[in-house]
Structure 1
Amino acid sequence: MSDTVPVNSDSDVASIPTIFDPATCTRKGLCPVTQLRHDGSPLSSHSLYFEQHGTGPEKIVFIMGLNSTSFSWFPQVDHFGRRPEYSILVFDNRGVGNSGVPRGPYTTSAMAEDVVTLLDYVGWTAERDLHVVGVSLGGMIALELATRIPNRIVSLTLAVTRAKRDVRASLPSLKGVSSLARLLGMSDPEAKIPVVLDMVFPRAWLDAPAENDAQGRTNREVQTIEYRKRFEASRPQSPFGALSQMAAGLTHGVSPARLRSISSSIPKVLIVTGDDDYLVDPANSRHMKACMPEAELVEWAGVGHAVQVQRREKFNELVERVIGEGRSKLTDGWKSAEVEGGQS
């Protein structure tokens, strides 16, 4: 099965709805991706929808998670896209949003190859010039990306994600599995919103007053409006795309040896998780830290799966710190442990 995005001209791309501020957008488009068989013949072709915001020297690529579009990075695009220090790249993974739906099931390694193609397409190819931020399935893709192009990465932020390849680690909690199954059978966005909210945020936080909200609304009320905007601006996801992305998450695995290699070959690695996550057990983050001695682990109390939304200011501050520390290590003469050991 293959499904191409029904837009192929500059005017068509410009007309694709977005929730991001057009004032900060420097480029939006469709990146063509062709996967080849071992004999060199085409296996499948699809396009990745992307947007670039900001013009600063520090380049950040944000990789979104399971069955979510790039719109889920709104708090980060709104923040970093306005800052003079940063240029950011967000995109829809294959199988969701305005990107194509190639043959499935997908793998995180193939989705990482998509990202390499996109980075090459937009010209982000220099050594030690890139900051990678991945959440959930996006963090799994980021691990595969870090295996492929470690010399291009300054910092790597792995949020609410995992590396273990086993059934216990890969499956969400019972509540997470139930929510994902219910969403597969839903087509009405208004019916989906409460299910999504209860899946990615702790109930106590949803029912609490929203911070600095002049109207005195709860977080649930505010997020219902935010998610409605995302759904209204997004193409509906096909069940095939959703299931193919789920397959990528279920089959993902990075060995302890590869984790150690990633940890030693990138100047700054951060692992961040909440302690109230229904989709990815925080124990997965602790496992990664045990295998990545150079990495930093941050755990937030009372935080669910959508860390970049629930703790938007703290998350943005954390990413800024990680970017600065990675750049400082390079300035101070940091060397990859593999290079120092003569392995690469």
Structure 2
Amino acid sequence: MADDAPQFITRLEPQDEYTHEPDAAANYNESMYFNVFDHGSRAGGWFRIGNRPNEGYAEMSVCLYLPDGRIGFMFGRPKIDHNRELNAGGLKIEVIEPFKRLRVTYSGKVCLMARPFDMADPSKAFRENPTLPCTVELDYEGVSPMYGGETVRADGKPREIDPEKSFAKAHYEQHVAAKGFFQIGEERFEIDGFGLRDKSWGPRHWSAINWYRWCPLNFSRDFGMMLSVVTGEDGKPRQGGMVFKDGAYDLITTCEMDSDWDEHGYQTALRASVRTKGGKAYEVTGKVLSLIPLRSRRKGPDGTELNTRITEGMTEYRCGDLVGYGLSEYLDQIEDGQPSGKVAEAAAKA
């Protein structure tokens, strides 16, 4: 490396739990995401607010997995004119104590689907399924250290990024526990479970990544993982993530993953061979219990129609004799009707 090549560090401060002053990029995004799964009832969900103040709206998502396979879902783009808080469309995220305690509440409606695959056509899904009142109250507790932050130059100055090719300039994650409830119509579900939360800020386009596999999971309060395989424009998968065990994170150096698929190209099962920086090895399998397909569409700078699909599967995981729960989130660009990661996986096996 040349002597004058820039050096980078990762920075994370308690104030990063709160909102930042947006930079000039039109696609500036600041978002928080939470999930939780109750191992006893096999109910769970995830929640996200992404402020896009320079575009005048927020992205708001609520997704609730019921024990019988039904899914309640709501998405909106409520208007906003500032970035002072994460509170839009009935979904609110409050920082009670940075890195330790946060609260997620929702008061609104969800589309309750016995056939979650209906969401592949959102207008049809909302037209043919009931929309019911929904309340969520969850108190989150950080049970792990923090992982990630903002990559900056060694002198503290921000690094330069291309907003059109950016997914985020800063990102961090943490394994959590959560207690509370959610109610859909007359049905109430008490929640006492585990999950993962993250936060990111900076310019974002969902189509900036070719494909990824993101699998946050927990076996207990003190044993969880986040498995990650991310592929950018160069087509080379970057494997990573972390294992949370005995109060510390052990970074993943190898995460070899393959999947089973149904006729729609949705994941039904996965297998992962994991190796860590600390020399540990884990074999993890996952079985998808219920799944909802979501999408993001936009035109690229050259006018090309970009179609990004994100499938969100509540997944039962096994590692040795342990059984846990979490999410398998698969993002793919849809090209000629096929998910890009599925095509790449098949080519790698050939």
- TM, length-normalised to structure 2: 0.26
Greater per-residue helix proportion: 1
Greater per-residue strand proportion: 2
Choose between structure 1 and 2 for higher RCO, CA contacts under 8 A separated by at least 6 residues: 1
- TM, length-normalised to structure 1: 0.27
